[in-house]
Amino acid sequence: MLQTEDFGCWEAAVSTTLGHHRSDLLTPASPFRAHFRIGQLGAFTVLHVQGSGRLRLIREQREQSVLWLPLRGITAERINGQSWLAEPGTGLLFQPGDAMEGETSETMEGLSILIPPGLHQRPSHPGSPLLASGPLHQRVLAGARALA
């Protein structure tokens, strides 16, 4: 568990879990706070992230897929050049090789579920990374929330 008001400390913690990235604090005049908790559930790593201070993260997804489930606030993402908006009740699936640039709202909370390489296959014809509506998407989101 990490609880900090030090942006550099938060950035180091993100590097150990997500790998190489670049992040910027977009509201340096506002207080920055981050609470970062990590756990293991079988083969899955689950991160609970919450905080205040608007951020930008630029990264490339490496070996594993990540399912991002916002619980509070929004995340605006550009994945491989396409814009997506993740808000509570939706999820975004980041797959190996995806180039991403995202910005958070001033306050945010969410779950990142890291999916090991052997448990997720990249589809030959990828669809939308946004999991939002439809019975299949809702089952995936409900299962992910139960896992977390």
Give, for all 148 residues of the chain, the pLDDT tens digit.
888 888 888 788 777 776 678 888 898 888 899 998 888 888 888 889 899 999 998 988 887 888 899 999 999 999 999 999 999 988 888 888 889 999 999 999 999 888 888 765 555 445 667 666 666 666 667 777 776 5
Give every CB contact of residue 113 below 8 A, 6+ residues apart in sequence.
44, 45, 46, 47, 66, 67, 69, 144, 147, 148
pTM of the predicted model as reported, rounded to 2 decimal places: 0.80
